[in-house]
């Protein structure tokens, strides 16, 4: 399986840059290779931009290699220079510690920590915290040329604008130290990351050569973008997170379902663990019958199952169907139903108040702009409550009609939905 690994990554568009490709291929084929990827705790959760490199880690482990997911307890306190012309905000140490623990738990679900190539979790605070400033400058800093550091894209871009602090300028030294430490502790000989990390990774290779007279490898994957060139993983509501409290499984599922047709091939290749043949079959379906959205659904099912589990993926898909009358709303769990309805036009009423008529409720959600329009919908047979057709204009639901005593689902015709929450 190792022999096909790099070829598979190439087919999936997951290789941006490598050091000596032949040497890396030889090392991958000769024995299991220990590799690492760093994740800085810049938020309480990872997002789907991180998921691309996580899936790549998983592919390497399935091919027999040993992953080290590193969570940056120290680098997270410093901040990687961003492409924006501004310094990152420095978070309180207690906040960073909390985020480190959250991200560790997220990473644990994607990799195996058992067996001959069990993953090893690392935190770079373990080796940076004990080092004094003088020791760091004398033993590590002396190996870095300021001229070379200034040439790094992330630094030079900042110098052309408002400048960069010494704190962020030193980030690449800290990351290089990570590679050196993992090389010494675990014989780690490959670092992977996004293509924007190339300069930092190469700095680590140089440090290993200077301190240990050793050699290692670098491999970066492209930053995933949409077909229009915009950043992948952003919606009108912000980033798509892996934490279900920050992006619900239903919203996560809907993100993939809603992907542009032009992006689906790339997304399947990057995030799916299906075979080449299975993916090609889905792409044929996309081309010949795009309205069926078979490829979109397969992608959404697989990635939602990977991140949130098969049950949440199934519930999310069932919710999407049930909202439009293709399933039973009563079979959805409360969390999934609440998440699905949160995306709809909605209104709230107090349980202590009498519930208005369907006509009044639809008007309150803003789906129609007048009661006469709502009455016309009822007369034309297009009015539904919880997927059941409403026959009369004076129909008013009761608390007993509400799912979990809280939710009513209104539908106008086949596609226009709204929600009522009893509070």
pLDDT tens readout for residues 164-185: 888 888 889 999 999 999 999 9
Same domain? For 300 and 364 the reply is no
Question: Residues 255, 303: one domain?
Answer: yes
Is-contact 100 67, C-beta < 8 A? no
Task: Count structural domains, the chain.
Answer: 3
**Per-residue confidence band for 87, with pLDDT thresholds at 50, 70 and 90:** confident
| Among 105-109, 153-157, 294-298, 305-309, the least confident range | 153-157
Does 337 reside within a domain? no
Q: Are residues 250 and 106 in the same domain?
A: no
Last residue of a domain, one of 168, 193, 223: 223
Q: With bands split at pLDDT 50, 70 and 90, how would you rate the model's confidence at 320?
A: confident
CATH number of the domain bearing residue 10:
3.40.50.620
What is residue 83's predicted lDDT score, i.e. its pLDDT?
58
Does residue 371 form part of some domain? Answer: yes
% residues pLDDT > 70 (the chain): 97
Q: What is the pLDDT of residue 148?
A: 82
pLDDT > 90? residue 226:
no
Domain membership flag for residue 48: yes
Per-residue pLDDT, averaged over 278-295, amounts to 95
Residues 196 and 234 in one domain: no
Q: What is the pLDDT of residue 236?
A: 62
End-to-end CA distance of the chain: 56
Other beta carbons less than 10 A from residue 358's beta carbon: 25
Same domain membership, residue 177 and residue 29: yes
Q: Is residue 204 a part of any domain in this protein? A: yes
> Nearest CA to 34 among 119, 123, 158, 143?
119
- Would you place residue 81 in the very low, low, confident or very high pLDDT band (cuts 50, 70, 90)? confident
**Residues written for the chain:** 423
148 vs 74, more confident: 74
Torsion (CA) 369, 375, 377, 382 in degrees, nearest 10: 130
**82 pLDDT exceeds 70?**
no
The answer, yes or no, to whether residue 1 has pLDDT greater than 70, is no
415 and 274 part of one domain: no
pLDDT band at 85 (very low <50, low <70, confident <90, very high): low
Residue 50 has pLDDT above 80, yes or no: yes
What is the Cα–Cα distance from 226 to 266, expressed in whole angstroms? 9
* Distances in whole angstroms, Cα of residue 197 to Cα of each of 68, 120, 266, 307, 363: 17, 22, 21, 25, 52
Rg (CA), the chain: 26
- Is residue 332 in a domain? no
C-alpha–C-alpha distance, residues 318 and 337, integer Å: 10
Alpha carbons 194 and 221: distance in angstroms, whole number: 5
> For 63-73, what is the mean pLDDT?
97
For the cut 70, the answer to whether the pLDDT of residue 139 exceeds it is: yes
To 10 degrees, the CA torsion angle through 45, 156, 235, 283? -100
Taking each continuous run of H as one helix and of E as one strand, the counts in the chain are: 20, 13
Residue 342 CA to residue 299 CA, distance in Å, equals 23
Over residues 122-132, the pLDDT tens digits come to: 999 999 999 99
Mean pLDDT of 69-82: 88
Name the nearest CA neighbour of 317 among 265, 420, 307, 305. Answer: 305
Boundary of a domain, candidates 290, 325, 360: 325
pLDDT at 250 over 80: yes
For residue range 345-403, list pLDDT tens digits in order: 999 999 877 899 999 999 999 999 899 999 999 999 999 999 999 989 999 999 999 99
How many other β-carbons are positioned within 10 Å of the β-carbon of residue 273?
A: 13
Same domain, 155 and 82: yes
290 and 397 part of one domain:
no
What pLDDT is attached to residue 414? 86
Residue 57 and residue 166 in one domain: yes
Pair (211, 231) in one structural domain: no
Percent of the chain with pLDDT over 90: 79
The mean per-residue pLDDT over the stretch 136-142 comes to 92
Asked whether residue 48 falls in the same domain as residue 131, the answer is: yes
Give me the torsion for CA of 288, 290, 291, 297, rounded to 10°.
120
Does the residue 336 lie in any domain?
Answer: no
- CATH number for the domain spanning 232: value is 1.10.240.10
CB 100 within 8 A of CB 42: no
What domain range includes position 134? 2-223
Which value, to the nearest 10 degrees, does the dihedral of the CA atoms of residues 306, 310, 313, 318 take? 160
Q: What is the mean pLDDT of residues 291-300?
A: 95
Of 62-66, 84-88, 118-122, least confident by mean pLDDT is 84-88
Lowest mean pLDDT among 19-23, 85-89, 202-206, 416-420: 85-89
Residue 2: which pLDDT band, with cuts at 50, 70 and 90? low
Count CA atoms closer than 13 A to 271's CA, side-chain side: 27
260, 291, 325 — which closes off a domain? 325
Q: How far apart are CA 410 and CA 420, in angstroms?
A: 8
8 A C-beta contact, residue 179 and residue 224: no
Q: Return all residues near 222 (Cβ < 8 A) that are at least 6 apart.
A: 13, 14, 16, 194, 195
Contacts of range 346-352, beta carbons closer than 8 Å, 24 or more positions apart? 346/418, 346/419, 346/420, 346/421, 347/418, 347/419, 347/420, 347/421, 348/420, 348/421, 348/422, 348/423, 349/420, 349/421, 349/422, 349/423, 350/422, 350/423, 351/399, 351/405, 351/422, 351/423
- Residue 147: is its pLDDT beyond 90? no
């Amino acid at each position: 399986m190792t022999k096909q690994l790099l070829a598979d990554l190439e087919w999936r568009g997951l290789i941006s840059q490598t050091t000596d490709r032949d040497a890396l291929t030889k090392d991958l084929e000769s024995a299991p290779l220990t590799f690492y990827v760093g994740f800085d705790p810049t938020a309480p959760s990872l997002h789907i931009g991180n998921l691309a490199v996580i899936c790549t880690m998983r592919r390497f482990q399935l091919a027999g290699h040993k992953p080290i997911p590193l969570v940056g307890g120290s680098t997270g306190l410093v901040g990687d220079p961003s492409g924006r012309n501004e310094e990152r905000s420095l978070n309180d140490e207690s906040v960073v510690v909390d985020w480190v623990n959250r991200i560790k738990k997220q990473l644990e679900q994607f990799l195996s920590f058992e067996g001959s190539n069990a993953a090893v979790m690392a935190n770079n605070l373990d080796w940076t915290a004990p080092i004094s400033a003088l020791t760091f400058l004398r033993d590590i800093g002396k190996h870095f040329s300021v001229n070379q550091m200034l040439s790094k894209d992330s630094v030079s871009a900042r110098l052309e604008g408002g400048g960069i602090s010494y704190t962020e300028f030193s980030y690449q030294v800290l990351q290089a130290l990570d590679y050196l430490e993992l090389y010494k502790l675990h014989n780690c000989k490959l670092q992977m990351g996004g293509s924007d990390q190339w300069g930092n990774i190469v700095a680590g290779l140089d440090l290993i050569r200077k301190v240990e007279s050793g050699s290692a490898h670098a491999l970066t994957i492209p930053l995933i973008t949409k077909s229009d060139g915009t950043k992948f993983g952003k919606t009108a509501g912000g980033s798509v997170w892996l934490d279900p409290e920050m992006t619900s499984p239903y919203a996560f599922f809907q993100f993939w379902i809603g992907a542009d047709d032009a992006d689906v091939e790339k997304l399947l290749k990057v995030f799916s663990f299906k075979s080449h043949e299975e993916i090609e079959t889905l792409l044929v379906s996309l081309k010949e019958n795009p309205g069926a959205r078979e490829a979109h659904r397969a992608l959404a099912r697989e990635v939602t199952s990977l991140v949130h589990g098969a049950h949440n993926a199934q519930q999310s898909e069932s919710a999407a169907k049930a909202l439009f009358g293709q399933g039973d709303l009563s079979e959805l769990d409360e969390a999934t139903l609440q998440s699905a309805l949160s995306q709809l036009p909605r209104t709230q009423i107090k349980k202590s108040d009498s519930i208005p008529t369907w006509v009044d409720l639809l008007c309150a959600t803003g789906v129609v702009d007048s009661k006469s329009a709502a009455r016309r919908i009822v007369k034309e047979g297009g009015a539904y409550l919880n997927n059941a057709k409403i026959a009369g204009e004076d129909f008013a639901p009761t608390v007993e009609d509400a799912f979990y005593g809280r939710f009513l689902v209104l539908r106008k015709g086949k596609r226009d939905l709204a929600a009522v929450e009893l509070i």
